[in-house]
């Protein structure tokens, strides 16, 4: 597995208990090369996370940055907008994730 794949798998493993607790499933978690740090399609049917600083860069982002992006995208399973309720879910996920680290 590439460094990027290992990074993505590590983040996925880290958030799995949070997803199980909520009954969430993300069938496809993929590396993105778009400009956005992350993208949640259809309430978690697919989540893309940008792992590299640019599409042509082999340099991966720091693990904590990737993990924060994944938590943000997971919060979109509950709320697709960036409302106050969305940020409350994101904070809840982040706090629970910190307890697991």
Q: Which domains, and CATH codes, for the chain?
A: 3-96 (3.30.2010.10)
CA nearest 69: which of 29, 22, 101? Answer: 29
**Residue 21 CB contacts under 8 Å (≥ 6 apart), including other chains:** 96
pLDDT value, residue 1: 62
CA nearest 26: which of 36, 39, 35? Answer: 39
Mean pLDDT along residues 89-96: 98
Convert the pLDDT of each residue in 5-14 to its tens digit.
Answer: 899 999 999 9
Convert the pLDDT of each residue in 34-47 to its tens digit.
Answer: 889 999 999 999 99
Task: Categorize the per-residue pLDDT at 3 as very low, low, confident or very high, splitting at 50, 70 and 90.
Answer: confident
Average pLDDT for the chain:
93
């Amino acid at each position: 597995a590439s460094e990027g794949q290992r990074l993505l798998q590590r983040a996925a493993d880290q958030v799995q208990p949070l997803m199980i607790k909520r009954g969430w499933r993300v069938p496809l978690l993929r590396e993105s090369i778009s400009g956005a740090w992350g993208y949640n399609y259809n309430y978690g049917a697919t989540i893309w996370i940008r792992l590299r600083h640019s599409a042509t860069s082999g340099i991966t982002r720091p693990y904590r940055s990737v993990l924060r992006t994944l938590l943000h995208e997971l919060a979109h399973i509950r709320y697709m907008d960036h409302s106050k309720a969305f940020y409350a879910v994101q904070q809840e996920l982040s706090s629970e994730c910190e307890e697991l680290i």
